[in-house]
A and B are shown apart, each in its own frame.
Chain A
Amino acid sequence: MTGPRVFTKRATLALRALDTTVEIETPEHVVFSCSLAGPARRALAYLIDLLVRGAIVAAIGVALSMASLGNAEMSGWKMGAFLILMFVLEWGYFVACESFMNGRSLGKRALGLRVVTQNGLPVSFGGSVLRNLLRAADFLPTGYAIGLLTMTFDPRFRRLGDWAADTMVIFEERPRLRDPIRLDPPPLPAELDQFPQRLDLPGPVLEALELFLRRAPELQTLREDELATMLASIYGERLQVRYKSASRFLGLLYARAVGEKSRVR
């Protein structure tokens, strides 16, 4: 029906070394990154799903046995129904969940996980069938030992089922936009004027400054000073600015670098 498919995933999907993120390039040539879900988080999600299934089986089992107390004739029929239910739950639960909830079972949903293809797209019905039936192989010899082993060796934490179905499990963070950084007390014009008018800090430095300033209130004074000095000593010397508090100096540096642009606009 279709000719041989060409697999260009290697070309479009670059792996960053030693990180639990995977980068995906969209057809718009925009690259975004996803965090991969590790074995611990996935095991927890599995546990929740196990409990959910157990609860369903228990609830229906109790209901059926209560209903059959008065009427022994029906017991064969009920046993059959119970059996079918077990069968469907054991082999159909994950497929149904992943198909109707876009790659998430209830446990995955609770832990913010989602099954996606290697291209970051929703898992297909066939893919879901494959990856979930292969649980039988991942489970061997017991307790998902093989699955855990393959996950350990795979840069994307894939178990055998994920390999066959070409899927991976990602951790969907929902990062929020944070308020802009405000110095406390606000920078005085005299303080800012120590710095040059044009301050062209490279992106990574700006990012480091921002990370530090956001973290600074949580740090102890000594540690704050120690960290701040790393960068402050370099820029203090380069810009010929003297400072008392390294942390304050970095705050002013950041304010100047960011504020300068806004005035130009």
Chain B
Amino acid sequence: MFDREAFVARRSPDWQELTLLLASDAPLAELSASRISRAASLYRAVCGDLMRARQTGSSADIVAYLDALTARAHNALYGSRRYALRGALRALLHGFPCAFRKHWRFMLVSALLFVVPLLVGWFGALHSPSFPASVLPLKTLEGLSQAYSEGFANGRSEQTDAAMTGFYVDNNVGIAFRCFATGILFGLGSAYYTLYNGLFVGTVFGFVQRAGHGRNLFTFVCGHSPFELTAIVIAGGAGLCMGAALISTEGYTRLGSLRRRASDLALLALGAAAMLFIAALIEAFWSPSSLPEPVKFGFSALAWLSVFGFLLFAGRPPKPRTVP
């Protein structure tokens, strides 16, 4: 047993000082050096107090108080990493393409899962009048076709614009993230959503083209599709990668195996999200504009090239100089 009152009276100034140092939720790293070291030594002292209080079976409220204080100080001291924008940029420009290449097998599978159904849907809708209805409700398709029946000579009308972009963003962004997230269901969700999304996009393309508005459609989508379609494939691939980590654990526990891949998965997801963001920007401001066709198609070609160039070459370490 010990004397509660004397203990509290002697130690509580330190506890209060530490509480004050932790008061702001700002990372501890932003404080001055002297305050950080003061916080560190106070934290160690409080650790001792907690052990002592618990050992002596002293009052429950003191133990609870010290417990919470220790937890907060531990959180602040051991994790005080500043969230730098530079770090996020580096992850995007360097880590993301590296992770993409590291897991290229999953990306390839995902691309096949996306592109093959896309082609099937496209040709099916082009050549068979009854095919599209088996993929999508006819009403949706006709609405889409209607939306593309007008050209872009005068820019898009407000109503169509809202309907179209709303539809696209909801569908493609939502589905891209779903492609990734459902990978946690042992990859099955990713496979399903990637495949379905490919079929969906292909069928829409084929249906609209068959209705004779193909030109309008392609001038519209050519600008953002390099980013959007690639992002869907990457999201699907990352989902497959996550599923594979859960299935083939290589001697780790399932969770351990998942955690081993977690940083790569986060990079891929972050990259896909950034690409979707770029796609949304283009879709909102560039695609509906009344720019002439060649400009739009030229931009699209450039975008495809830069997307592939980025994914394949960015973030590679510089070649070691060869000695002749």
Q: A residues engaging B (CB < 8 A)?
A: 4-5, 7, 24, 26-28, 30, 32-34, 72, 75-77, 79-81, 83-84, 86-88, 91, 99-102, 104, 114, 116-117, 120-122, 124-127, 129-130, 133-138, 140, 160, 163-166, 172-178, 180, 200-204, 206-207, 210-211, 257-258, 260-262, 265
Contact = CB atoms under 8 A, between A and B. Distances in A.
Nearest to A257: B1
Interface string B8-38: 1000100000000000010100000000000
Contact of A261 (B3, B67, B260, B270): B3
A33 B284 contact: no
Given A79-B162, A203-B1, A207-B59, 13 more contacts: A7-B252, A7-B259, A28-B47, A81-B284, A83-B165, A87-B280, A88-B277, A133-B181, A136-B180, A164-B262, A173-B64, A174-B68, A261-B1
B173 A87 contact: yes
Given A83-B165, A160-B184, A258-B1, A210 B60 contact: yes
B266 A24 contact: no
Kindly state the interface size class of chain B when it binds its partner: 35 or more
A215 B272 CA distance: 56
Nearest to B179: A136
Contacts of A180: 4-5, 8
Contacts of B68: 172-175
A91 B87 contact: no
A226 B74 CA distance: 42
Contacts of A133: 177, 180-181, 269, 273
Nearest to B156: A76
B262 A75 contact: no
A127 B75 contact: no
Given A76-B288, A120-B71, A102 B173 contact: no
Nearest to B49: A30
Contacts of B155: 76
Interface of B: 1-6, 8, 12, 25, 27, 44, 47-48, 50-51, 56-62, 64-65, 67-68, 70-72, 74-75, 78-81, 83, 87-88, 91, 155-156, 158, 161-162, 165-166, 169, 173-174, 177-178, 180-185, 189, 242, 252-253, 255-256, 258-260, 262-263, 265-267, 269-270, 273, 276-277, 280-281, 283-285, 288
Contacts of B259: 7, 166
Nearest to B175: A136
A26 B70 contact: yes
A210 B44 CA distance: 28
Contact of B8 (A91, A160, A174, A177): A177
A130 B235 CA distance: 12
A86 B12 CA distance: 48
B181 A136 contact: yes
23 contacts: A30-B50, A76-B161, A79-B162, A83-B169, A101-B25, A102-B25, A120-B71, A120-B75, A121-B74, A127-B266, A130-B266, A133-B181, A133-B269, A137-B184, A173-B64, A177-B8, A178-B59, A204-B57, A206-B1, A206-B57, A260-B1, A261-B2, A261-B3
A86 B169 contact: yes
Contacts of B165: 79-80, 83
A99 B83 contact: yes
Nearest to B8: A177
Contact of B67 (A33, A101, A130): A33
Residue of A27, A76, A100, A114 with most partner-chain B CB within 10 A? A76
Nearest to B180: A133
A172 to B, nearest CB: 7
B158 A72 contact: yes
A175 B270 contact: no
A113 to B, nearest CB: 13
A110 to B, nearest CB: 14
Nearest to B287: A80
B243 to A, nearest CB: 11
A252 to B, nearest CB: 16
Pairs A-B, 10 closest by C-beta atoms: A203-B57, A80-B284, A126-B266, A136-B181, A137-B181, A122-B79, A121-B79, A30-B47, A175-B64, A32-B70
Contacts of A258: 1, 3-4
B83 A125 contact: yes
A27 B67 CA distance: 15
B7 to A, nearest CB: 10
B48 to A, nearest CB: 8
Contacts of B252: 7
A265 B6 contact: yes
Contact of A164 (B71, B258, B273): B258
B215 to A, nearest CB: 20
A7 to B, nearest CB: 5
A24 B74 CA distance: 10
